[in-house]
Structure formats: C-alpha cells, structure tokens
C-alpha cells in the first residue's frame, strides 16, 4: 500500500517575543506520558462522515485492483460489512454483501472489529471478534480465508485466540514487519468482560487489566510462533480499558501503536497512540489523545486503522444525526519525530 500523507503546517508552540518554547518530554509507557503536536483549528474544522451509516471499527486495505476496501462490525443486516472507494478521502460505496456469511464456531451475534490482510500466496485473511456460544458474552478471535478481497471468508473450525478465563479476546489486527519479513497480530485480552461492574464492566475496583498483546505468526497468518508478548497495558488515565490496537511502522523506523481507551459508548472514547523504536517495545505514550470528543466536531472517535506506513486513517465516531450509530470518518496525518499530527 502507498502512504498518502500530505504537507501540513505544524502548530506553532513558541512565543518568540517572550523567548518561550513548548518542548515535549517522552517517558516509558508505564511512566509519565509525552506531549504531541497538533494543528491549529481542530476546534473549528469539521470532519464529515465518509460512510454515513452504522459502520463501526473500520478496517482498511488496498486491493489488487487499486481500490480501497473497508470492513466493519456487524450492522445493516450483515455479520461483516464491506465498503469500497477509489480514494480513501473520496466517496465510499457500501456494498450489499456479507464478507462473513457463515461464522463457524461463533454464535452469529455481535461479530466485531474485522481486519483484512493479504498473504504471500495471494489470498486474504480476515481476523474478527466472534461471540462464543453460551460463553456469557465473551468474544474470541476468529480467522477466515478468501481468494477474493470482498469474500466470502471461510472461518476456521476453532477460534484462533481464546483466553476464556481472562474474559476472551477481541480487536485483532494483522501487521507485516518489512525489515524482518515476519508477520504479527496485535489484539486485546478482553479483561473488562470479567470485571466487577461499572463503566464497560470495569469501573469498580479492583479493575482488571486489558492488555494489548503481540503474537508472531507464520506466513499463513494463523500458525503461532512462540508466546504472545504484552506491548501495552491499561493505566488509570485510560479508564476501564485499552482496545482497538493498530500497528504501523514509518519509513523512519518508528513503530506507532494506535489504540482507544475508555468505553465505546462514552463521550470519553478516543484515538490515542504510543511509539517505539522496537517492535516489541517499550512503547511511549503521547500525553494528549490524538482524537477526542470535540475535536473536528467529532463525538467518541475511536477504532482507528491506518494505511501501511502511515499518512491516512479511518476511524468511527458517533453519527451526526443517528447517534448512537457509529459512522466511518477519515483523516490525513503526518509524523514528525515521535509526534503524530492530524492534518
């Protein structure tokens, strides 16, 4: 995929007359967070939906035909929705087909957060969060394969990852590491599912962790290599959870882990990020959320997916006129040092 970043003006953070400058200090992920740079006008500029219907947790991939495809959580009568566009920033068409008509081991209800990647053999793999039958609302991560990008995807007979006693697992996203030519999957252990109640079932102490895990896989995108490693954990600043991980690497060798925190049905839901020079971390958090309620007239933005290499992303936020439905939005961004800048 290509990187579609464009020039942008950085927010000026200096008062030259007074000789004052804003400097961002970076700390490890468990310590004090870091400052990011942002453009002026985020309170005045409005980002309009690209898909103006319920289309949560959008994935993003470019097909062999040059078109862009997005896949989303179940809604509009589909287990997994599909949309396409000639440009990410252009007009999107919601397709009338279900990318996952058969869900295999899952219940068929509440199929969430798909992610699609192309494998070395030319086929496509979909990771998705399927509700476990008679599992008390728990989800586990499933895998489907298709020779056609829009599907239908054929699910495997068993879940790919299912830490049932820890609450299950959701929000898997594939990642191909260009320097090492190795494949990985990031996902969330859904600890708040076995929390003690409150906000997203994890607002009452003691709060349960919701770690973001990194799992190496073989070229088939399924067979695991070794054990998963934790690359991010929930902190008090995240509220009940962290989730929706999406991992990229810039041309400068910076790994950026986008994620969301707080509860998806809360105005506190957001797009955040952490960076590292090493794939397995440690990851350093930005002190300011990349996107939050009020920015660009958005409410509860989250579930972001970036193009490979960075430059553009899609994400969901509450629909302007049909909330609590979640529409798909798009924005460009650039990276300066360790700062992600919305443009």
DSSP string, 113-128: EEEEEE-TTS-EEEEE
Which distant-in-sequence residues (6+ apart) come within 8 Å of 337 by Cβ?
Answer: none
Burial of 71 (0-12, 13-18, 19+ CB in 10 A): buried
Cis peptide before 206 (omega within 30 of 0): yes
Task: Give, as one character, the DSSP assignment of residue 80.
Answer: S
Q: In degrees rounded to 5, what are phi and psi of residue 64?
A: -65, -20
Task: Give, as one character, the DSSP assignment of residue 297.
Answer: G
CA angle 303, 251, 69 (to 5 degrees): 40
Helix (H) or strand (E) holding 318: strand 312-318
Which distant-in-sequence residues (6+ apart) come within 8 Å of 188 by Cβ?
Answer: 169, 170, 171, 210, 211, 212, 213, 241, 242, 243, 244, 245
Integer Cα distance of 122 and 11 in angstroms: 42
Please, which residues bridge with residue 115 across strands?
127
List 131, 171, 243, 339, catalytic entry: 243
Which distant-in-sequence residues (6+ apart) come within 8 Å of 318 by Cβ?
Answer: 298, 299, 300, 324, 325, 326, 327
Residue 141: helix, strand or coil by DSSP? strand
Joined together, the tokens standing for residue 25 give: 């200090």
List 57, 199, 238, 339, catalytic entry: 57
Integer Cα distance of 161 and 154 in angstroms: 17
Q: Is 35 designated active site? A: no
H-helix segments, the chain: none
Integer Cα distance of 34 and 19 in angstroms: 22
Q: Is 177 designated active site? A: no
Active site residues: 57, 243
């Amino acid at each position: 995929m290509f990187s579609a970043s464009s020039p942008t003006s950085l927010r000026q953070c200096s008062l030259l007359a007074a000789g004052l400058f804003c400097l961002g200090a970076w700390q490890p992920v468990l310590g004090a967070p870091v400052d990011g740079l942002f453009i002026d006008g985020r309170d005045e500029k409005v980002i309009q939906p690209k898909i103006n219907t319920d289309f949560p947790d959008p994935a993003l991939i470019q097909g062999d035909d040059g078109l862009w495809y997005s896949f989303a959580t179940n809604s509009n009568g589909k287990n997994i929705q599909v949309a396409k566009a000639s440009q990410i920033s252009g007009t999107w068409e919601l397709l009338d087909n279900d990318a996952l008509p058969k869900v295999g081991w899952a219940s068929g209800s509440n199929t969430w957060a798909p992610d699609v990647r192309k494998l070395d053999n030319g086929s496509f793999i979909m990771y998705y969060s399927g509700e476990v039958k008679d599992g008390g609302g728990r989800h586990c991560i499933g895998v489907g394969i298709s020779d056609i990008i829009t599907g239908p995807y054929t699910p495997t007979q068993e879940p790919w990852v299912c830490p049932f006693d820890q609450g299950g697992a959701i929000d898997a996203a594939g990642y191909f590491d260009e320097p090492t030519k190795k494949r990985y999957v990031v996902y969330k252990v859904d600890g708040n599912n076995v929390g003690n109640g409150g906000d997203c079932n994890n607002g009452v102490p003691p709060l349960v962790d919701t770690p973001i895990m990194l799992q190496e896989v073989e070229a088939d995108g399924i067979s695991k290599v070794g054990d998963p490693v934790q690359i991010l954990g929930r902190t008090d600043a995240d509220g009940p959870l962290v989730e929706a991980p999406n991992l990229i690497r810039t041309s400068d060798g910076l790994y950026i882990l986008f994620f969301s925190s707080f509860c998806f049905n809360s105005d506190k839901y957001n797009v955040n990020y952490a960076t590292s020079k090493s794939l397995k971390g440690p990851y350093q958090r930005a002190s300011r959320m990349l996107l939050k309620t009020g920015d660009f007239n958005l409410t509860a933005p989250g579930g972001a997916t970036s193009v490979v290499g960075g430059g553009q992303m899609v994400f969901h936020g509450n629909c302007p006129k049909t909330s609590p439905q979640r529409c798909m939005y798009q924005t460009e961004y650039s990276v300066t040092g360790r700062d992600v800048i919305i443009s």
